[in-house]
Structure 1
């Protein structure tokens, strides 16, 4: 499976990495560091041809202007290994980008995860996952509750992440070019 993401701008990434490092120091939580680049995931997918995926994502990026998205609060996906995250607030630009990614990649995907669909998708930035436990959840949230998580993110790229051993590394990064799709005028 590949992850189609947007990497965070350097200032936001540094802030997230500092929080993640503090969770390692305080609680020993470090599994989230398997993806060293903080990001927002739009879709997890298995694809037929990586070269075709790169081409369609490059086209989406070429027709996308950089935009701002905002975060606030904390969230938890429950389970035996709860995921602790910062929610990213959905806005028109983020929803539009997600919709265009799904539409462009649909013919290429062998499979996707069930949470990538537009009705289930919850954009977020993971702070802890896989090595958490229900017993740690209370102390970790109490620790994190001493901070605020209101950030303005500048989203300016699409990035494919692929698994390499225990890590998820950048396969390809496409900067938003800021051009709108050209629609030819109709002549009557």
Structure 2
């Protein structure tokens, strides 16, 4: 099982990302995303007690208020994961750092890239694209405007059981 902790995007960006996913599926046949909630991840855990994660997220969120972030451009991580970068700020870094510090004790990290020294906030658009297609996907996405500014006002807990094909929303906690 996997647990993802992070803010979901507000409208209209939530719907925009859903539309981009649908357009990518129509153009390239990618199918649905494993996590169907447009978001950026603060931390991911493997084999943790989801109720304990929800409690910690609520406690940490109570220490933070809403704040603005910006996005722009398109990036590609190793493994051909195509994403929209989220600009790092001190406020975002503080939320991330406290969340990681408190969640780390609850289970194994989903991957090392969520640790403070290597975390790069982003909104995933396409995961594991074939080497031959990644250039086409990026070119296709150049027609979209990803220069956004929005308020982060929530942190969600999303859970993928071993039997499921998609994450489900467990909790949405206001900042």
Report the TM-score, using the length of structure 1 for normalisation: 0.85
The 2-side partners of 1:113 and 1:45 are apart by: 8
1:154 paired residue among 145, 151, 155: 151
Q: How does 1:13-92 map to 2 (within 5 A)?
A: 13-32=14-33, 34-46=34-46, 48-79=48-79, 82-92=80-90
Count matched residues. 172
The 1-side partners of 2:149 and 2:39 are apart by: 14
Change (3 A) 1:141 1:6: same
The 2-side partners of 1:134 and 1:111 are apart by: 27
Is the 2:84–2:124 Cα contact (8 Å) retained in structure 1? yes
Bigger radius of gyration: 1
1:109 paired residue among 101, 107, 110: 107
- Runs (5+) with no aligned partner, structure 1: 177-188
- Runs (5+) with no aligned partner, structure 2: none
The 2-side partners of 1:136 and 1:110 are apart by: 33
The alpha-carbon deviation at position 106 of structure 1 amounts to: 2.4
Structure 1 outlier segments of 4+, above 3 Å: none
Change (3 A) 1:113 1:157: same
- The match for 1:119 is 117
The 2-side partners of 1:49 and 1:128 are apart by: 28
Does 2:167 correspond to 1:168?
Answer: yes
The 2-side partners of 1:166 and 1:110 are apart by: 21
Report the TM-score, using the length of structure 2 for normalisation: 0.91
